[in-house]
Amino acid sequence: MKCSKCGSDKVEVQAVAETSKRGCLAALIYIVLLCIPVIGWIALFKLIRGKKSRTVSYAVCQSCGRRWRI
């Protein structure tokens, strides 16, 4: 594999865990749902459970530092 920016053969592949971000609208909906007792417990459970993550592979050039998704 070659770097398209500098043409170097020194490219390393790395696996990186990325988490998805929650928007401000989702946070606002959770705050409103926490005011309702029964549904609030479900919303609280979803907040505690955390964000979803996925593993993505990146190639990183060791010469120039350019990074791209594989």
Query: Is there a contact between 44 and 34 (Cβ–Cβ < 8 Å)?
Result: yes
Q: How many Cβ atoms are within 10 Å of 10's Cβ, its own excluded?
A: 13
Rounded to two decimals, what is the model's pTM? Answer: 0.54
Give 68's DSSP letter. Answer: E
Q: Which residues of the chain have pLDDT under 50?
A: none
Chain centroid, CA 33 distance in Å:
25
Confidence (pLDDT) at 50 = 65
Confidence (pLDDT) at 24: 78
CA–CA separation, 25 and 20 (whole Å): 15
DSSP helix/strand/coil, 34: helix
